[in-house]
Amino acid sequence: MVAFKALAAGALLSTLAVASPTPGSSHARSSSSLLVRKEWRTLTTTEKAGYISAVKCILAKPALTPPFPDSGVLSRYDDLVYTHIQQTMNIHYVGHFLAWHRFFTATYEKMLRDECGYTGAQPYWDWTLDATSEAAFLASPVFDPITGFGGNGPSLAWDPSNPFPEVPGRSGGGCVTDGPWAGDDDVVHLGPAASVTYTPQCLKRDLSPYFAARYLGMNQTQLTLSQPDFGWFNTIVEGQPSFEASGVHGGGHYGVGGNMGQMGDLYTSPADPIFHLHHANLDRLWWSWQSLNPSARLTDISGPLFLMDYANLAGGNATLSTPLSVGVSAADVTVGDVMNIEDCGNGGLCYTYDQLYTLL
Ligand SMILES: *[C@@H]1O[C@H](CO)[C@@H](O)[C@H](O)[C@H]1NC(C)=O
Ligand SMILES: *[C@@H]1O[C@H](CO)[C@@H](O)[C@H](O)[C@H]1NC(C)=O
Ligand SMILES: [Cu+2]
């Protein structure tokens, strides 16, 4: 495909992933068919509609997770939300955070294509284009009622009994009133938090344009991209679990989900389809960082195996051999298997991005 050759960094890395046809694997694509992920607003109206209809399809396909009493895992979409809930404490604030989420969204992309006939790549949301001001954030094409994922929920007052601190600048909290999931009281089946019993819920948003402008701008993105090694890079991506020291990861989650929206829920956040556009962009940022020094960064991984276990009291550090599981939706892989997104060998991820961040 011509598109990826135009990328300096992409072309460099793709030499490491020269087409090796892999007979017998239905998952493999040759490098000539690397999927190229694009920014949401650059898709045509038809491409956007095709993506949203594939999301609706996967939301309606019956789950593969074995049934359990009162299971809220109804759909193939729920299979992914469920495994994220189950693993929440093992996949955040750990060395394999980015690797796990890379594998997670690539699995979703593959499900949309293989099970719902979607022919494109997973789109990403480059929030730096919208976080230029609070007004620009609210006007983001991803929130478009017709060609996007719908916008904010109606403003709900803060409940002082909420044990969580209030997200600064949160402005909504109710069910989305426009977009593909408006008026659907049974689009989310799992959560809140770690609950996995069937609880029909609407999709909620609690946008904080303030939080987005603070943590999703090009300044925060450049700070992240300029980190010298993976340990620092990951630390700056995830930030601290404090609204005063967040990073781009929290910026997207709390900027969209605030306190009351699914995106602001550490466990159930993949229940909002915007999750995968946000995580695709985090992945793009990681790939951009890797592409600045591929010989070192295609193998650079560090950080604890257990949540915030920086002193290794509970265990050791993530390595290229650390296993990654997304439950029933794909065979397990290792961190090493997902370090190079352009690897089109047997089982390789085999995608890339149309454009990368560069150091300014
Ligand atoms: C980036 O700009 C925002 C908005 O002005 C500001 O709140 C934030 O502190 C800045 N971040 C960095 C890392 O400079
Ligand atoms: C884990 O990584 C940290 C930081 O690089 C290092 O100080 C520590 O010794 C490592 N722990 C193990 C068990 O290798
Ligand atoms: Cu997550």
Q: Assess contact for 271 and 24: CB atoms under 8 A.
A: no
Q: What is the percent of the chain where pLDDT is above 70?
A: 91
- The confidence score (pLDDT) of residue 51 equals 98
CA atoms within 13 A on the CB side of 86: 14
Calculate the average pLDDT of the chain. Answer: 92
Span 126-137, pLDDT tens digits: 999 999 999 999
Q: Does residue 23 form part of some domain? A: no
Mention every residue, 6+ apart, whose C-beta is less than 8 A from residue 163: none
Q: Which residues have CB under 6 Å of ligand 1?
A: 213-214, 217, 219-220, 223
Partners of residue 4 on adjacent β-strands: none
Q: Does residue 12 form part of some domain? A: no
Q: Helix count (H) and strand count (E) of the chain?
A: 12, 4
Span 286-341, pLDDT tens digits: 999 999 999 999 999 999 999 999 999 999 999 999 999 999 999 999 999 999 99
Q: Does residue 143 form part of some domain? A: yes
85 alpha carbon – ligand 3 mean position (Å): 9
Average confidence (pLDDT) over 54-70: 98
Residue 72 sits at φ, ψ, to 5 deg, of -95, 10
Q: What's the rounded Cα separation, in Å, for the pair 319 and 298? A: 12
Chain centroid to CA 95: 16
Q: Does residue 354 form part of some domain? A: no
CATH number at residue 119: 1.10.1280.10
By the 10 Å C-beta count (0-12 exposed, 13-18 middle, 19+ buried), 70 is classed as exposed
Q: Does residue 112 form part of some domain? A: yes
Q: Does residue 340 form part of some domain? A: no
Q: Does residue 115 form part of some domain? A: yes
Tally of domains in the chain? 1
Question: By C-alpha distance, which of 263, 256, 279, 262 is closest to 326?
Answer: 279
List the residue whose alpha carbon is closest to atom 14 of ligand 1. 219
Q: Does residue 227 form part of some domain? A: yes
Residue 24 pLDDT exceeds 90: no
316 lines ligand 2 (CB under 6 A): yes
Q: Assess contact for 64 and 76: CB atoms under 8 A.
A: yes
Is the pTM higher than 0.85? Answer: yes
3 alpha carbon – ligand 3 mean position (Å): 30
Give residue 129's domain range: 42-332
Q: Report cis status (omega within 30 of 0) of the bond before 192.
A: yes
Ligand nearest to the Cα of 311, by number: 2
313 alpha carbon – ligand 1 mean position (Å): 34
Chain centroid to CA 235: 17
